[in-house]
Structure 1
Amino acid sequence: MAQARDGGICRVKLTFGQLTSDQARGIADASEQFGNGIIDVTNRANVQIRGVQPHNEDALIDSLLGLGLGPLTDKGDDVRNVMISPFAGADKTRVDIRPLATSILRELQTSPIYQTLSPKFCIFVDGGENIAMVTHPHDVWLSPINPGDLASDYAFGIAGVPPVDTSDLSTLGMVSANQTFKLVTAILDLFIEWNRDHPEASRLRHMLADIGKEKFVDLIKQKLAISLQAARVREWRRTSPKENGHLGIVRTPNLEHCTVGAMPSLGRLNPDMLRNLASIADRYSSAALQLTPWQSILFSGVANEHATAACDALRVLGLSTSSLEPLATMISCSGAAGCKSALASTQLDGIRLAALLAGKADIPQIHLTGCSKSCASPLAKPVTLVATSAGHYDIFLHATNGPSRFGKLLASNRTIEESADLIGAKFGSGGPLHA
């Protein structure tokens, strides 16, 4: 439980973002009974229940445990940080990484030595899916060299992401499929051994900065007694995922069914919305909801003839199903209402900005942050609004190797109305996506 301006935040970690419809209803009830009714979907495909007062904490935890949302062991909650694509396993002709990811997640929760890892320490098991979030930096990542080969070898790296760009040199080596689990535990063991002498460090990037890439690779080779074949994967790149492929009707290799995806405004739900989403899952899907790292929600197994009706039902609830809608890709932190560091009400300002930009073509993803910490996004987005005071923002455009972490400054201390005019003029007619 973390404390915030609007009360305690209960972070509910989900197994690969999955919720049954009954669990969703239970979270809605818990938020209403023990919180302030605000439910956030996070960029790790988890849930946060906000506004929890101290006298309600134990009752809330008991209710969540009763829903089957707890860890495998008492001390295993903080390390439940294994991410996969929400579409993992959907294509039976391609690699299914779910068994591997499940084994790693189980090991993290049940091995006492791994329970000492930082709550932010995270692992990405990629399956090469056409729809995936591959821009989140992870402490460890794995990705199949050839996703269409069910026995594919795996590339791996640390403190980064699978390489898509030709200039990305983050891949450290390659192992066979049957060595992937041993590789992950070997990396974790090396980090924990190093961490004993560097207790102030919490992430693999700190170890990498200390000993360097070559030394790290040598240590892995020694521990596993295998060749990592780094030269063979130096030129390998992951296929770039489909942009915004998680929205709307997503056709699958199963010709009779599809997946339907929608984005709640700024990733935020209330109890009634979540209950209604559970009912949509019961009616059109498999009585399950899939949360995503885009802070959106997917419904799989929807019969093709019901896909349009499912989309219509989601839109009635106020969710966006098309990337043409500004709120379908816009993200924001909790803002001044929920955070003492925030200088502006980013949630309300984001809704206003989206309304002003509605109907304009080619609006890129926009990120509103209440301060320079940028809690809602670890990376710069095409457009970032950084609050300077209530209702006022500096506007940045993404720029590779730009002068700030957000990119290049477009304008300073602008109101939401002024920001909408500038963004609309810059992009609304198909302008550039980068500074």
Structure 2
Amino acid sequence: MGQDETRVPMTGFALRGWCPDAWRPMMAGDGLIVRVKPRLARLTAAEIAVLADLARRFGSGAIDITNRANLQIRGVREQGWQDLLRALVDRGLVDSDAALEGRRNLLVAPGWDRGDDTARIAEELLGRLGELPELPGKMGIAVDAGPVATLLDSPADFRIERAEAGGLLLRLDGRESGVSILPEEATDRLIALAHWFVETGGAAARRASRHTAALPQWARGDGRPAVGAAAPHGYGVPFGRIEGEAMVRLMAATGAAALRVTSWRQLLAESEVREPVEGFVRDPGDPLLRADACPGAPTCPQATVETRELARRLAPHVSGRLHVSGCAKGCARARPSDVVLTGRDGAFDLALRGRAGDPPTRAGLSPDHVLAHFGAS
């Protein structure tokens, strides 16, 4: 890969309204964010070691696990970004084609087995990314074809899911039901639905859940996704932030051949060993695992409030889901939460059973007022 191939205009670092990747990093308060998208949600021990080393050499050493099951290397220095990109491409962690890497927004249910419907469909989609139309940057695809659907609360726009009746569904996010499909036609149908979305003006809506055009007849159905047991519990990462070296320690402690990355900010070790590891939460009832919080100020220039320390103090006093957002964008969680705090002009707006930026029940609260409101002062 030549030097010219990795050059991206520096103005791209300041753009908003899209998700960063390795070819198009985003500038934050702590440096550039460089995103790595694990194929089939899986990273081998060797790949984990490489990521930890690169995060330390070119960034702050910190890695974020996103709600799309991606990894973000934090604090990357501008002068080192192209060297980091080159290393990620050389090691097969990033596609050498920037356009294909930008389209590789594929969320895979982490419980797949070799040769099952989830793995086969995901691998076929990865091989046919060039057939997808150009979609808005935040859009993504979920392949959730295990015994039950486990990604219902994870962000995606086009969904292939296990149906209640046992077959597969193709469903547009925001629609309660989908159309039954055969496993061998899943990729063709999904690509066709993506083209329909663009051709009917969906790009203006930017997300499938906001696109109100009537579905084509072939994409209509009354099948519902199969809902079963809760998603498997692994090694929890509060707020998704972990040091790369902690991931290396996790591999060593469990003897795992690989880790599966989840959209609920947990790592599943491919191992029967379940040793506690410093930096990870093993108790599935820990209130921090019910809390979402973006990096907040000063890490994110969009935020006007600190978020994560407040979330840590508040989480044990909130029943249900807590979302603390530094601004109305709500990057940490797109779905509704039981308690939502949105930063605005250095204070917080409080909403219940909603999303970041929703009309508040109380506005302009200081962190102390928030804690007192929930009896956490």
| Alignment TM-score, normalising by the size of structure 1 | 0.72
- What pairs up with 1:242-281 in 2 under 5 angstroms? 242-243=229-230, 245-247=231-233, 261-281=234-254
Give 1:98's aligned residue.
Answer: 119
Give the unaligned 5+ runs of structure 1.
161-168, 222-227, 248-260, 426-435
The 5-angstrom pairing of residues 43-54 of structure 1 reads 43-54=67-78
> What does residue range 146-161 of structure 1 map to in structure 2 within 5 Å?
146=164, 152=167, 154-160=168-174
State whether residues 131 and 246 of structure 1, in contact with CA within 8 Å, keep that contact through their aligned partners in structure 2. no
2:164/2:225 contact within 8 Å kept: no
> How far apart, CA to CA, are the structure 2 residues paired with 1:59 and 1:170?
45
Q: Specify the code of the residue in structure 1 equivalent to 2:239.
A: L
The alpha-carbon distance between structure 1 residues 155 and 115, as it changes in their structure 2 partners (threshold 3 A), is closer
How much does 1:366 deviate? 1.2
Q: CA deviation at 1:107?
A: 0.6
Shift of 1:343: 1.2
1:340 aligns with 2:301: yes
Task: Look up the equivalent residue of 1:65 and give its one-letter code.
Answer: V
Q: Which residue of 2 aligns with 1:61?
A: 85
Q: Is this contact kept in 2: 1:157–1:173, CA < 8 A? A: yes
In the other structure, the counterpart of 2:216 is 217
Kindly indicate whether the alpha-carbon contact (under 8 Å) linking 2:144 and 2:151 is maintained by their aligned counterparts in 1. no
1:183 aligns with 189
* Larger radius of gyration between Structure 1 and Structure 2: 1
Is the contact made by 1:394 and 1:414 (CA closer than 8 Å) also made in structure 2?
Answer: yes
- Paired position in structure 1 for 2:261: 291
Q: What is the percent sequence identity of the aligned residues?
A: 24
After superposition, the C-alpha distances for 1:160-187 in whole angstroms (9 at most, x for unaligned) are 3xxxxxxxx5324222333222211222
Is 1:17 the counterpart of 2:35 in the alignment?
Answer: no
Q: CA deviation at 1:61?
A: 0.8
Aligned to 2:62: 38
CA 199–293 in structure 1, closer or farther in 2 if over 3 Å, else same: closer
Pairwise CA distance, 1:74: 4.3
Partners in 2 of 1:418 and 1:130 — Cα distance? 42
Residue 395, structure 1, aligned to residue 350, structure 2: yes
- What amino acid is the match of 1:381? S
CA distance in 2, matches of 1:38, 1:9: 10
Q: Deviations over 1:170-209 (max 9, x none)?
A: 32422233322221122233344456xx875655456x43
Residue in 1 that maps onto 2:139: 121
Specify the code of the residue in structure 2 equivalent to 1:77: E
Q: CA RMSD in A?
A: 2.9
- Secondary structure at the aligned position of 1:97 is classed as helix
1:187 aligned counterpart, secondary structure: helix
Match in the other structure for 1:325: 286
1:99 is displaced (CA, Å) by 0.1
Maintained 8 Å contact 2:350/2:363:
yes
Distance 1:40 1:137, change over 3 A: closer
In structure 1, the residue matched to 2:323 is: 367
Normalising by structure 2, what TM-score? Answer: 0.82
Partner residue in 1 for 2:340? 384
Aligned residues: 352
For residues 83-124 of structure 1, give each alpha carbon's deviation from its aligned partner in whole angstroms, at most 9, with x where no partner exists: 22111339x9xx63210121012211xx2x537333322111
